[in-house]
Amino acid sequence: MIPPTPRTRALLAATAVALAATACAPGSSAPPPAASSAAPSAVRTDAAALGNVTLTIWDQEVRGGQAAQMKQLNAAFEAKYPNIKLKRVSRSFDDLNTTLRLALSGNEPPDVVEANNGRSSMGAFVKAGQLRPLNAYAEAYGWKKRYPASVLRYSSYSADGKVFGEGNLYGLPQVGEVVGIYYNAAKLTGLGLQPPKTWEEFQAALAKAKGAGEVPMQLGNLDKWPAIHVFGTVQGRNVPAAQISTLAFGRKGASWNTPENTKAAQQLVDWVDKGYFNKGFNGQGYDPAWQAFSKGTGVFLIGGTWLMADMEKVLGKNLGFILPPGATPDAPPVATGGTGLPFAITAKSPNPDAAAAYIDFITNADAMKVLTTTGNLPVADTDQQSVPAGAQQDVFKAFGTATKNDGLVPYLDYATPTFADTLGAALQDLLAKKATPQEFLATLEKDYKTFAESNG
Amino acid sequence: MSVARPPGEPRRVAYLYLLPAFVIYAAFLLYPIGRAVQLSLYNWDGLSVGTWAGLSNYAAIVADEGLRDAFVHALVLVAFYALAPLAIGLMLAAILNHAKVRGLGFFRTVVFLPQVVAMVVVAVAWRRVYAPDGTLNGLLGALGLDSLTRGWLGDYTFALPAVGVVGTWFETGLVTVLLLAGMSRIPAELYEAARLDGAGAVKEFFAVTLPSVRGEIAVALTLTVIAALRTFDLVYITTRGGPGNSTSVPSYEVYHRAFGLSQIGSAAAIGVTLTVVIFAISFMINRFADRGAS
């Protein structure tokens, strides 16, 4: 042992001081959540009469068409309401996600923020009382009439943040998303096939593509999450939609350990066994995979509508998109899907009326037209937009059909705060045959049950 | 009155001179460390009021298989980041030093080059190398070794070594240049004496070169071991801890838990544990080097 020298003693003392200075529970200095329910009578929709207001907005609309629509709509808003100034802060999705938490816990948070739907973002903010319920504004602006219920539930939580998918409305999205099946029309024709109308036809097409020496399906699963969309699609053919919703919203009353889920997992493993995926898919990046598909490797690709614009640039009219087909051609659609990040109003914002007017402006019928012309998929009025035939029309039609029939099922990773990770890693294990379907489902069940029970 | 002390004797007033530096040190280092230690004792989501957790976050590191594995992976990376570069570096430096090659400066630059490139860039480049249709598989295919090709970063056996090899490639330059500097200080007489005693090149290396660069080895090991244990960017860019959890490392878990899962307490506990492990290992390396020197 070294005897404590004055130096080490001073160091110890300093550490003790530092510890003492910090010795109160983290988060306890934050002010209590603001009174959060504005009475409907207090809501004002006459934005022009609100006086001079500056709104700070944090969004993640930084890419191509997204950035273009935001710029256009913001300019139109400021032109229409000269009394309201917009201070826009835009960051990439990842950056927004990591900084929003700190920004919201400060004393002067932004007025309008784009918050990710999931439990670890919007759910946590609602729980901490940092977002304002928008029910009164939804009433005043008629949002519930324009937006399908299956879309609005993705930004709905109970007031305590525990129940996802129902309760208060906390945000409004601009764009929609649905996961479907992209196909290479030239390759299908070459194989003597039509776009599949049933799940059986789809699997037969995969088999035929394999037989002809094509890569039947592109998958890049290095980033862990892409297989979630493939599994969700297979699951939608095998498991009743209501069960998927219960599982994916992390509510009590369902189970992963069911024959239907086992069948879905088994089907995915069968695809691996039959060599339907490209070689080394677990080591292939997500972007390289869809880029390879658009350059002509692969007949099918299971992916979201967000890929359409980029892939169409290369494949042109050879790119097609369908909703995952059901058992029969006229089976009601079931597809993983949701919305872009919803725009929410912070509880501490001093200008909720102006903020709501802004959100209404960027999501109204005119805004949906702007979204269409800038290459986005508007979440409402989708079937009223006119777009040229081709992949874009396929995508619009698919999303319109899915929302009209309430056929959207939530992303599975919404289930619990840790589920994206659990499911992503478990799927890599399943696809690499490191886990059997039973072990795979047991892993998911454990995460789901633990959360659903502790959540009450 | 008291007798004036000779200059250089300790005086209390010296602490006053230290104060400005200490205040900065305390504000930016001691306080955050104390705060991290404190956070690690709570369950906190970063938003609501935290609840006291005691040592349960630390217990979880031992109990949670995934977290335990993360630390094991970090130790595996030490072999790739520190031991392999040391072996290669010793060899390279000995050859470069011994052969008195022409254009030594050029070789030194080439070997050191990876260090100059940002790790993120390195990671992106290697991701391409390891891709299923990437450079490495292309090379293997050209050699007729198609059976060996695979998606390297998606392979359960090879993902961690693949990440490790990037570390070896990255750190070898630093180690070599450090050792070269050390070896250039060895007086030529020592080699002459060794040769007169009938030592060959190998004997000479172990009898003269190796003991003389002990200090440089300690520095190189300390730097590379720390780099290995706190690897984050490489894993973040290449695999995100996958496939499964086979390349997860503590630093990635810290980031992931704090910003992805909002488990700030758990993240802080991992961070503190990692700090202690790094401190302990660096301490041992330097103790070992000091003892050998005296």
**pLDDT tens-digit map of B143-182:** 988 888 888 998 999 999 999 999 999 999 999 999 999 9
A133 with A80, same domain: the answer is: yes
Q: For residue A164, what are the domain limits?
A: 50-171+341-378
Is residue A439 in a domain? yes
- Among the partner-chain residues B33, B34, B48, the one whose CB lies closest to the CB of A127 is B48
Domain presence at residue A24: no
Task: Say if A91 falls within a structural domain.
Answer: yes
Model confidence pLDDT, tens digit, residues A232-283:
999 999 999 999 999 999 999 999 999 999 999 999 999 999 999 999 899 9
Is a pLDDT exceeding 70 seen at residue A9? no
Q: Are residues A333 and A434 in the same domain?
A: yes
Q: Which of A324, A356, A378 is the last residue of a domain?
A: A378
- Are both A313 and A427 inside the same structural domain? yes
Residues A74, A204 share a domain = no
Residues A230, A303 contacting (CB under 8 angstroms): no
Contact A128 B52 (CB under 8 A): no
Is 70 exceeded by the pLDDT of residue A227?
A: yes
Residue A248, CB half-sphere, CA atoms under 13 Å: how many? 28
Q: Are residues A318 and A434 in the same domain?
A: yes
Q: Smallest Cβ distance to A27: which of B22, B34, B50?
A: B50
Q: Is residue A143 part of a domain?
A: yes
**Is A113 among the domain residues?**
yes
Rounded Cα gap, residues A125 and B264, in angstroms: 15
Q: Which chain A residue shows the shortest CA-CA distance from B50?
A: A26
Whole-model pTM over 0.90: no
- A26 to B38: CB separation less than 8 angstroms, yes or no: yes
Q: Are residues A209 and A327 in the same domain?
A: yes
The answer to whether residues A77 and A90 belong to one domain is yes
DSSP helix/strand/coil, A311: helix
Task: Give, as one character, the DSSP assignment of residue A43.
Answer: -
Contact A86, A78 (CB under 8 A): yes
Return the percentage of chain A with pLDDT > 70, whole number. Answer: 91
State yes or no: pLDDT of A21 exceeds 90: no
Which residues of B fall within a CB distance of 8 Å from A283?
130-132, 150-155, 159, 243
Q: Are A193 and A205 in contact (CB under 8 A)?
A: yes
- Are A333 and A346 found together in one domain? no
Decide if A205 contacts A196 (C-beta within 8 A): yes
Which domains occur in chain B, in start order? 73-293 (1.10.3720.10)
Domain end residue (candidates: A328, A358, A378): A378
Classify the phi-psi angles of A120: left when phi > 0, otherwise alpha if psi is within -120 to 50, otherwise beta.
alpha
CATH no. for residue A328? 3.40.190.10
Mean pLDDT, rounded, for A330-359: 93
Number of neighbouring beta carbons within 10 Å of residue A210: 17
Residues in B closer than 8 angstroms to A101, CB to CB, are: 46-47, 259, 262
Residue A300 has pLDDT above 60, yes or no: yes
Using the beta-carbon criterion (under 8 Å), do A278 and B245 form an inter-chain contact? no
**Residue A51 CA: distances (Å) to CA of A54, A88, B39:** 10, 19, 44
The number of domains in chain A is 2
Same-domain check for residues A189 and A326 = yes
Does the residue A392 lie in any domain?
A: no
* Beta-sheet strands, E only, within A386-451: 408-409
Using DSSP bridges, classify how beta strands A300-304 and A217-218 pair: parallel, antiparallel or unpaired. Answer: parallel
Q: Which of residues 319-378 of A touch B (CB under 8 A)?
A: none
CA distance B21 to chain A (A): 13
